[in-house]
């Protein structure tokens, strides 16, 4: 099972309820809010897609299918930007 975690090549902080992320090598800034911010916080420790989905479903009123689809999209974007790494 694939798990995901925050990349070691970034720093992040909370600013007014939003997560601000800076990729250290590429100087790319990225912002997350709402469920995206919760997903980011969860990724401080390696998490599987199922664990992320269950955490979001516990907090937000969304269908399991839509939730998983949105998480996959967020993870793909963060991984493409080098902000999230996979752990096998």
% of the chain surpassing 70 pLDDT:
100
Which residues constitute the domain of residue 61? 3-82
The pLDDT value given to residue 11: 96
| Residue 64: CATH number of its domain | 1.10.10
pLDDT band, very low/low/confident/very high, at 32 (cuts 50, 70, 90): very high
Is 87 contained in some domain? no
Average pLDDT over residues 35-61: 95
pLDDT at 45: 96
User: Residue 11 domain-assigned?
Assistant: yes
The band of 17, judged by pLDDT with boundaries at 50, 70 and 90, is confident
Task: Confirm whether 60 is domain-assigned.
Answer: yes
- Residue 86 neighbours by CB under 8 Å, 6+ apart: 2, 3, 4, 79
Residue 88 lies inside a defined structural domain of this protein: no
Please check whether residue 12 lies inside any domain of the structure: yes
Summary mean pLDDT of the chain: 94
How far apart, in whole angstroms, are the C-alpha atoms of residue 56 and residue 67?
A: 7
Total of domains in the chain: 1
């Amino acid at each position: 099972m694939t798990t995901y975690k925050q990349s070691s090549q970034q720093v992040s902080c909370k600013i007014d309820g939003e997560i601000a992320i800076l990729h250290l090598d590429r100087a790319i800034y990225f912002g997350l809010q709402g469920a995206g911010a919760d997903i980011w916080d969860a990724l401080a420790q390696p998490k599987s897609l199922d664990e992320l989905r269950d955490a979001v479903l516990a907090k937000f009123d969304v269908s399991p299918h839509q939730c998983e689809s949105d998480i996959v999209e967020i993870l793909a974007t963060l991984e493409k930007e080098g902000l999230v790494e996979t752990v096998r």
